[in-house]
Amino acid sequence: MAERGRPKAPLTLTDDERQTLERWARRAKTAQALALRAKIVLACAEGATNKAVAEQLKVWPQTVTKWRGRFVRQRLEGLSDEPRPGRPRTITDAQVEQVITKTLEEPPPRQDTHWSTRSMASQVGLSQTAVSRIWRAFGLKPHLVQTWKLSTDPQFIDKVRDVVGLYLDPPQAALVLCVDEKSQIQALDRTAPSLPILPTTPARRTHD
């Protein structure tokens, strides 16, 4: 059964647009939201209905309608969440992709612990403001790191309760001391692999 409603605006792609969308859609580490939007536009350009595209990509039909319309009006630029200024663009899609790829897939300069707007700007030849806008548009926060603690001790919870309870409610007139013994062993790595930064999710690593 054909889709009902208003006729859809024709969606045709230039060779450059198709190549860019296909590159975005197949990059495993690129922002997944951008990859999904690229797949939506590519499917629509093949002549599939919004309903068929939604079923194929397992998204809501409203999602297909939104990004199809954004692409028809604003082309590749419309697939970003970045607010659109009134003046013409001065940053190309290739430059945006370069910033995203470097942020997600490459380590910062050796002297830095994480990418900053200054270090990224010097690497890609853009201003710090431009890098900051791109990071905000795709939910990238290289300066944030979350930590977690893993324990295989089956009595871990009971031990934590004992230690915390001693600090919160020590015996009357007791002297509570904390002793941290360290042997002469150099820590070369963390106890578990660090998890990389993702769009809207900071990098994560163990605290020890």
Tens-digit pLDDT profile for residues 65-110: 888 888 888 888 777 765 444 455 678 888 888 898 888 888 888 8
Can you give the pTM of this predicted structure? 0.41
Higher pLDDT, 84 or 189: 189
Do 31 and 63 sit in the same domain of this protein? yes
Answer whether residue 146 is part of any domain.
Answer: no
The answer to the question of residue 172 being in a domain is no
Are 29 and 73 within one domain?
Answer: yes
30/70 same-domain check: yes
Judge if 72 and 128 occupy the same domain.
Answer: no
Would residue 177 count as lying in a domain? no
Q: Identify whether residues 132 and 104 lie together within a single domain.
A: yes
Q: What pLDDT is attached to residue 84?
A: 46
64/41 same-domain check: yes
Residue 102 region, left (φ>0) first, then alpha (ψ -120 to 50), else beta?
alpha
Same domain, 21 and 68: yes
Q: Which pLDDT score is estimated for 85?
A: 43
99 lies in a domain?
Answer: yes
Residue 42 belongs to a domain: yes
- The residue behind tokens 């068929």 is 52
Q: Would residue 205 count as lying in a domain?
A: no
- CB contact at 8 A, 50 and 3: yes
**172, amino acid identity:** Q
Q: 25 with 38: CB under 8 angstroms?
A: yes
Question: Is 20 in the same domain as 65?
Answer: yes
Q: Say how many domains are in the chain.
A: 2
pLDDT tops 50 at residue 194: yes
| Residue 86: DSSP 8-state | S
Q: Which residue range is the domain that position 40 belongs to?
A: 15-79
